[in-house]
Amino acid sequence: MKCPFCSHIENRVIDSRLSREGDVTRRRRACSQCERRFTTYERVEEILPLIVKKDGRRETYDRLKVVTGLKKACEKRPISIAAIDEAADRIERFLQNVGDKEISSAVIGEEVMRQLYELDKVAYVRFASVYRSFQDLDAFMQELKDLIGERSAAEERRVRHRANARSS
């Protein structure tokens, strides 16, 4: 691991800790040359599906895009960065559990909205208003009503999907 301050390659690990879910290791390190301390995070890199965009293009999954969207929605809200990272982790686990090699960007958008709904209702509404591109207040209000109904239906489908997966 290269020191971010002096670029020296040798360093020592001072402390290691696992995240709550146990899927990320946080390490405190000290550079052998300049003695400054820095933190690294290690996570298992898993193969995620390709994302199929609305226009048909395919892209590799980019966690940074999801985290950036979550941060923008949670801006000026009492949401910690750790909570945002945990939401991004749950979204990634969802994508891995789907098991498809390709997944629509709309599915990711819906999962982001589901995570935001659980995290903070205001952040959820912010994200939904941008994600759905509302033209006027009536469309926004109708969409909020529809989203509440869709969320219930999506949760039902997810429960049925899990039950089918377990019985297979």
Task: Give helix 105-119 / helix 121-131 axis angle, nearest 10°.
Answer: 160
Tell me what pLDDT residue 168 has.
Answer: 62
Cβ–Cβ under 8 Å, residues 11 and 27: no
pLDDT in tens, 75-123: 999 999 999 999 999 999 999 888 889 999 999 999 999 999 999 988 9
Confidence check: pLDDT of 126 > 80 = yes
Residue 70 confidence class, pLDDT cut points 50, 70, 90: very high
DSSP strand pairing (102-104 vs 50-52): parallel
Residue 148 confidence class, pLDDT cut points 50, 70, 90: confident
Residues 6 or more apart in contact with residue 107 via CB below 8 angstroms:
98
pLDDT in tens, 24-69: 899 999 999 999 999 999 987 677 889 999 999 999 999 999 999 9
Residue 144 CA to residue 160 CA, distance in Å, equals 24
Among positive and negative, which fits the CA dihedral 58, 64, 67, 71? negative
Three-class HEC string of the chain: CCCCCCCCCCEEEEEEEECCCCCEEEEEEEECCCCCEEEEEEECCCCCCEEECCCCCEECCCHHHHHHHHHHHCCCCCCCHHHHHHHHHHHHHHHHHHCCCEEEHHHHHHHHHHHHHHHCHHHHHHHHHHHCCCCCHHHHHHHHHHHHHHHHHHHHHHHHHHHHHHHC
